Structure 1
């Protein structure tokens, strides 16, 4: 009897919809995972509201083992959801360009009158409070982009390296068991085959694939 495939829930970031995760979802499905996406109003709802909605969605998933992949704000929402309602079925989490340690770009944009509507309350809530603790017993891997191409990077002076929106330093998460950089910008990570391969590697083994030519290790003192 064949084992049930492990489920993977993909969560998009700010200004996006779950449809943008379709290429990544298909690549994870081709790798043998039962992958699907979850969409939410990223600009209009508060962080706690989105986190509660995701926690309810996760609880309804019929699977023995669940992995989570969050891009940007999506990674922060899933961490908040697990803080609100821990789920022992969650084994591994991949955060893609998630500003766990803050966001200079978003902070600077909020100083400009009227731009708070573009940033949205979920991001503002995350920036206004200490980072949510990561769930214990869950392997967390962090992928950061180093191709500095993005709208925020043209408006705000970002520390290098960065992905055009989030800096590598801002993705640092002290509880991550592995971290790696890829040469992709913030949204480009969603379409990068190299990034998808790294996600598959981490979900399968709890570690990223160091032999991948396009991937770069973070030095131990830069460990996210």
Structure 2
């Protein structure tokens, strides 16, 4: 999804006192590496930190890859919204059905996820549990999911916090409750109760 999709969440975070910028990337067309480098350059230009990152789905993986790959970035927390940190069963299912080309050049990252989280950063994840989305056609979910990503796929060891909400994969970027959880984590490093 393009940066425009994050505008509703950015607006809600601004209303809670955060200064926001939307980062637009095309990781499906160009792969994640150019986006990681562009995001790092943008962060390095803002050394007055802290600079927090909030990414939805693949955007969360790009944020984590950036924090893992680049030294000297300003400090800050990272919130991933429905990001398949442990890899996406729906992406693997699409590849099995010869639809992997729809994943673009980010297919490997979407299918396999990450092995570890970046050190020295508090990372929180909001997962969805409203199973509405096309991912159900390919994911073979056997537990709670947001219609695209299973809840278990959003977990890796050493997360600072993890929250499951009754939202779909796309719906989480429009949710007032998700925005409140993100704001709480950015402020305190924990999701509010």
- Give the TM-score taking structure 2 as reference length: 0.93
Deviations 1:160-205 (A, max 9, x none): 2000000000000212111111100001000000000000111111
Indicate conservation of the 8 Å contact 1:148/1:162, yes or no. yes
* Bigger share in helix: 2
Give structure 1 regions of 4+ aligned residues with deviation exceeding 3 angstroms: 125-128
Indicate conservation of the 8 Å contact 2:43/2:73, yes or no. no
| CA 1:93–1:76: 2 relative to 1, 3 Å | same
Compute the displacement of 1:90 (Å): 2.4
In the TM superposition, what are the counterparts of 1:89-128 in structure 2 within 5 Å?
89-113=74-98, 115-128=99-112
**Unaligned 5+ residue runs, structure 1?**
1-15, 211-224
Which residue pairs with 2:157 in the alignment?
174
In the TM superposition, what are the counterparts of 1:39-118 in structure 2 within 5 Å?
39-61=24-46, 63-113=48-98, 115-118=99-102
Decide which moves more: 115-124 or 139-148: 115-124
Deviations 1:94-130 (A, max 9, x none): 11111001111100101222x22211111324535x7
Distance 1:87 1:176 in 2: 22
Q: 1:145 pairs with 109, 128, 133, which one?
A: 128
Compute the displacement of 1:82 (Å): 1.5
**Unaligned 5+ residue runs, structure 2?**
none
> Is 1:201 the equivalent of 2:160?
no
SS in structure 2 opposite 1:141?
Answer: strand
- Give the TM-score taking structure 1 as reference length: 0.81
* Bigger share in strand: 1
SS in structure 2 opposite 1:95?
Answer: strand
Q: CA RMSD in A?
A: 1.6
Distance 2:77 2:116 in 1: 15
Instruction: Tell me which structure has the larger Cα radius of gyration.
Output: 1
> Size of the alignment, in residue pairs?
193
Which residue pairs with 2:141 in the alignment?
158
